[in-house]
Every structure is written in structure tokens, then in C-alpha cells.
Structure 1
């Protein structure tokens, strides 16, 4: 039959001749293909003629990346650096916007409450006839103040108080920290007329860029001499929740941080070494910014604007400075006199105006030195 002949394996078309060495390859172990990104894959899985291959246990295709493949390494997403925890400050405390409504909602609610009170008064007959005619209301004697009228009064009055009592005006550079029963409920940084829940406690915070000129604080120079430094701090409140609720008073905390930084950084009196003063200012800024960042303060600069010696050492250091300046001035004058004498003697000798032996040269040098020193003393040089 035709069906049997079609299925007979002897009637299949001749297969393509196998390449040389295929028999030997079949006797060897199965070849494997190795790749940096995959595991070992048998060759017979890639080149097979079976229509119904035997099931093969699945293995993970990707095992990992090896260095040196030329591929771009995977980079992790940068995570925000967490602020250093401070004792007594809730690490989860962070500023978030509070829920407020436009001021029109509060005005509308207050107006509705006031209108309800007026209608309730007319209903109770408490509105005089002349007032009813002026308001365009029909004359109504009313049924008196009963439980229903008092309930309507209470509801309308509460609505009016709740509507008008929640109106607030936001200003640029100011924020409100809201709290309810000791719990932080959000921060309001909006401007203009708005409605805030009147049950919430409001704390006003100044978020503008501010500068603070400190009082004279104790400091020391590189040699340990006591100084008094006045610093100018430029700062602002970055996180209102931590600045208000994290510490008792963030301005006092900032002052204490500046004083602690001055105790660690040596400063120099202004006017002596300017570069040292700049380095001290940069160091102070870095230290104070690191100390105040966990409580929501952002410090831009801490610069010493006046550095003086402490009263107990001011007189002695003043005498030392004067003595040092006097010695430097004397050395400068002496060097100038010596240069002038040398130049004069050299010119006289080189031009042949005088012929001097060693003794005469010493006498001439001595006389010229006395003359030049006396002349500079008279002129005040």
C-alpha cells in the first residue's frame, strides 16, 4: 500500500553525506560552547534533526557577567544620603505639604453659616417686620425658639465660625508648621488667602535667607592664644518640620554649633594672614553645615568679621606686635643704610676719585654709616 511505502524508512531520500571526522566526533564527549554570559550549552541542542527531541532538563541561561567582556557594567541607582541621626530627633520626621483649601471655600462656608443664622432668626420670629421688609422676606410671626431653632442656630453658627475661623493669609518667605494634638500634620508654604483647619496648631517659621552676626565668642589661634571672634553666618531653614519640632529652638542650636566650631578651628587676627582667615572661614562653614543639616538648617557661609585678642592678653600681645614691627623697621633701615654706603664707596673707588687703603676704607664706611643713620633719624624714615 501507498501508506506503508511512505512510512517505510527504506524509501526515505538519501541523507546528505556526513563531513569527514563526524564519526570520530560522535564517539568523543559532547562539545560545549562557553560564553561569558551563558552557561555550558550542549551542541546537540543547537544542531538537531529530530522532530520530537527528548526532553532536556532546563538550566539557567545567564549565570553572570565576567569582567573584561567590554560591556558596560550595571550601575546602581544613587540613593539619597541620609542625614546623620541626632539624639532626640525623630529620623522619620521630614517636611511634607499640608492639606489646605482655597480661601474662597472658607468664605463660602462662613457666608452660608451667616445666612443660616439669619434664616433661623426669621423662622423663630426674632426678625422685626421692618427688617423683614428691608431684606425682602415675607412677614412671619414665627413659632418661637424651640429645640429645632436652637439646633439650627448651633449648626449655622458652627459653620460660620469654622469657615471664617480657618481663613489665613500666606506670605512669601513665611511658612506654617501645622500640628494636631502633638502630631505633625504638614507644612504650608503657599501664599495668598487660604483656608486651614482651625483645629490645627499653627507655628510660623521664617524660611527666607537670613544672616546672623554673632556676639564675641571665645576662640584661639594656632599658638593657643585666647581670642574673641565675631562671625557672620548666612543660613536659612530648609526643613521646617525638623527645625521646629526636632529641636527646642533652632536659632539657639545654630549659635551653639558656631561656638563649638570656633573652639575646634584655630583663627588668626584679621589683617595678619589673610589666606589663613579664608581657610578658617571655609573650615567653619563645613563644620557648622554638617552639624546643622540633620535638624533642617542650611548654612551657606560662616566668616569671621572681627577677631581680637582676649582682654587678659590684649596688652601683652599689643606690646609684642609693636616690638616685632619695630624690629622689622630697624632691620629694613639698616639694610637700606648698608646698601647706600656700599654703593657710595664703590662709586668713589671705581671712578678713581679717591685711593683708599683698608684703614681709610673702614673709616669712610663708619663715617658714612653714621651720617646716613643720623639723616634718616631726622627725617623720620
Structure 2
């Protein structure tokens, strides 16, 4: 048995005596026969291991309570912003673009050529009267009759005349034509004057002028939740004829729905309110403009022109308004009476007309107040 001294971690550098059986270490069975087993110094068994890196500890913050002195929890009490309402999207290919159009003179010329072809074919077949031939200064016809060539000439000349005269249209200021073919949008015509359009394309006339729409009384609410009825005047026009024509059926019905949705989110000033309605009109205009933009409409203003209480609360709010006016009238009358009494007493005392003590002054003030109040009251029937 042999004793060996080595530093102990608990003794901070002090030596400790550890009994070790040297024979057991030297003569013990080898675990690996092919390798030479070396002795491990005893002092390496008690080597200090490196301390792990300190982990930063964040200070815990608890929720605040009144009277406890606790710190508020970060992010607690903040209301998350409501997600923006998605705006409906239309077909990206459905955008207004000019339609193919020719001047009206081209249609007139084509129609005249087709009519002339029909007349010449009739002369060729011998079906043109002699009087008409003499008027047109045509030679005498051979009168070959109606054959395949004559029918083909009739068909070609008639089709040319129909295409020429059938495609004529008159463009007006403030109006537009929306053209389509086989269910697809082909373009918009905003030109004015005599035009020639493809007669095979269906046309839809649309008004692009500035228009006013006055709504019926619609439900709304004040800031305090009082039910109201609001009449709104909307100034609008069609900006994109393709989306406005093919995207919705009825423009005014769509506007009504958008205005009702905006009124449900924006409080309206009650009748006789002291605040100006400019802020409400601006908010309504911004909301409605955002709603109708995807369908090709442009809104310039949404203005409440008449605001009244709903029928179910009209009587109660009328009584409340009368009571408020009565209270205001009484307060103003009392203020004027007090000012008059004060002025009268001050003038009498300043000029030395009366010499009053506190008791007499109180009596005089009371009598003057009663007199002024009785004089200011309107006589009853």
C-alpha cells in the first residue's frame, strides 16, 4: 500500500493523502494485450476542469398590477392593428384599351361601292329598267339573266354594302362604345364624330360624364352609438369602361353597397352637432374610393347632405334636445340676472345712495334677483 499526495479541489491547493495499491496497478490484468499500458499520473485525475461560459440571464418582467409596484410586461396591453381589408381584384387583362376604328368616310365609301356593284350586277343580268340605265348613262344590257356569276356578284356587292353602311356609328362627347367579340373584350371607342366600327362586334354604350347619385336614407350611427338616418350625395364617373361595364351590372347599386359599408365603419355627427362634417366626408370619400377603384369607377366626394335620427329614437332625442336647450336658456338667463344684480348693487354703493350692512345687502340682492327673474320671464297665456 502506498500513499500519494495530490492537490484537492476542495482544499484550494492543499495536499491530500490518497491510498493507492501499487501492486494492483502494476500487476492487474491488461485490458489490451497487444498494446503497452502506461501508468496515469495520479495528479492528473484531480485536474481542475474549465468552467463553462456563463449564460446571460435576462431579467424576468412580470405583468403590472395596480398597487404592487411591479413593472409592466413589454407588449402587454397593446392592441394588435386590425388587418387591412383586402380589395377585390379583377382580371388583370381586363383593362381599357382603344378599339380598332376607322373614319366614317371609309364606311361610306365601302357602302357606296357595294351599292354600285349591286346596280351593275342588275344591269349585267338585264334586270335594270331602261329608265334607270338611261339615267345612269349605261349602254344597253345583253340580258344574260341570273346565273351563278351574277348571284356571286350580288352576294359580294351586298356584303360590301352591308359592312360599309352597317358599321357606321356616331361618337358623342361624354359617351363611349365598349366592343366585344365572341364573349371577349375588344376595346373601347371614345372618339367623336362619324366612325366606322366592325358590325360583327356587339356594342354597348356607356356614359363617362361626371354624375351625381343621391342615396335614399341609409342607416348609420353616431359616435355614441345613436341610430341615425343619412342621405349621401356621391359625385362619381366611369374611369375604366372595360371594368365598369363587364365587371358589375348596376353602378348605382354597387355604389350604394360601398357607401353602406363605409357608413357602418365611420361615425356620423348627429343633427345639430357642433363638429364639422368635413372629417366625416373625407373619411367616407377615402373608403368608398378604395372600394370602387377595382371596378373602374372614380369617386370624387361622398358628402352627407341630410342627417336625422332613426324613427325608433327620434322622439327621445327630440325631448333630450329640448331639455338641453331649456337648460342652456336657464343658465344664460341666470348669468344675466346675476350680472344685473351685481351691477345694480355696485352702482348704488359706489355712488353713496345707500349705506348697507351685510344683512341689508343680502336682502337687497334677494329682492333684486326675484324682481329681475320675474321681469325676464315671459308672461303665460
Within 5 Å, give how 1:44-55 maps onto structure 2: none
Structure 2: distance between partners of 1:295 and 1:270? 34
Contact 1:214 1:232 in 2 (8 A): yes
Q: Which residue of 2 aligns with 1:185?
A: 186
2:125 is the alignment partner of 1:124: yes
Q: Which residue of 2 aligns with 1:194?
A: 195
Within 5 Å, give how 1:33-112 maps onto structure 2: 87=88, 89-112=90-113
Structure 1 pair 88–147 and aligned structure 2 pair: CA distance change class (3 A): farther
Structure 2: distance between partners of 1:86 and 1:151? 57
- CA-to-partner distance for each residue in 1:66-93, whole Å, 9 max, x for gaps? xxxxxxxxxxxxxxxxxx9854721231
Q: Which residue of 1 aligns with 2:211?
A: 210
- CA-to-partner distance for each residue in 1:195-238, whole Å, 9 max, x for gaps? 00001111111111111111111111111111110111111111
Within 5 Å, give how 1:240-255 maps onto structure 2: 240-255=241-256
In the alignment, structure 2 segments of 5+ residues that lack a partner are: 1-84
CA shift for structure 1 position 249? 2.4
Structure 2: distance between partners of 1:267 and 1:182? 44
Contact 2:178 2:205 in 1 (8 A): yes
Contact 2:170 2:195 in 1 (8 A): yes
Q: Which residue of 2 aligns with 1:346?
A: 346
The higher radius of gyration belongs to 2
- CA-to-partner distance for each residue in 1:84-120, whole Å, 9 max, x for gaps? 9854721231110111000000000000000000000
Please report the TM-score for the alignment, with normalisation by the length of structure 1.
Answer: 0.75
Structure 1 pair 85–177 and aligned structure 2 pair: CA distance change class (3 A): farther
- CA-to-partner distance for each residue in 1:235-257, whole Å, 9 max, x for gaps? 11111111111223233211210
CA shift for structure 1 position 271? 3.6
2:140 is the alignment partner of 1:139: yes
Worse-matched range after superposition: 130-139 or 362-371 = 130-139
CA shift for structure 1 position 362? 1.2
Contact 2:87 2:291 in 1 (8 A): no
Structure 2: distance between partners of 1:130 and 1:347? 119
Structure 1 pair 352–87 and aligned structure 2 pair: CA distance change class (3 A): closer
Structure 2: distance between partners of 1:343 and 1:264? 53
Q: Which residue of 2 aligns with 1:326?
A: 326
Within 5 Å, give how 1:358-377 maps onto structure 2: 358-377=358-377
Contact 2:271 2:309 in 1 (8 A): no
> Per the alignment, in what secondary structure is the counterpart of residue 377 of structure 2?
helix
Q: CA RMSD in A?
A: 1.6
> Per the alignment, in what secondary structure is the counterpart of residue 375 of structure 1?
helix
Contact 1:113 1:158 in 2 (8 A): yes
Worse-matched range after superposition: 284-293 or 261-270 = 261-270
Structure 1: distance between partners of 2:110 and 2:242? 30
Q: Which residue of 2 aligns with 1:62?
A: none
Q: Which residue of 1 aligns with 2:61?
A: none
- CA-to-partner distance for each residue in 1:175-203, whole Å, 9 max, x for gaps? 11110011010110000000000011111
Structure 2: distance between partners of 1:305 and 1:284? 13
Contact 1:209 1:235 in 2 (8 A): yes
Contact 2:338 2:369 in 1 (8 A): yes
> Per the alignment, in what secondary structure is the counterpart of residue 145 of structure 2?
coil
Structure 1 pair 268–365 and aligned structure 2 pair: CA distance change class (3 A): same
In the alignment, structure 1 segments of 5+ residues that lack a partner are: 1-83
Contact 1:235 1:299 in 2 (8 A): yes
Q: Which residue of 2 aligns with 1:221?
A: 222
Runs of 4+ deviating beyond 4 Å: 84-88
Contact 1:179 1:202 in 2 (8 A): yes
Structure 1: distance between partners of 2:283 and 2:88? 24
> Per the alignment, in what secondary structure is the counterpart of residue 126 of structure 1?
coil
Q: Which residue of 2 aligns with 1:12?
A: none
Please report the TM-score for the alignment, with normalisation by the length of structure 2.
Answer: 0.75
> Per the alignment, in what secondary structure is the counterpart of residue 339 of structure 2?
helix
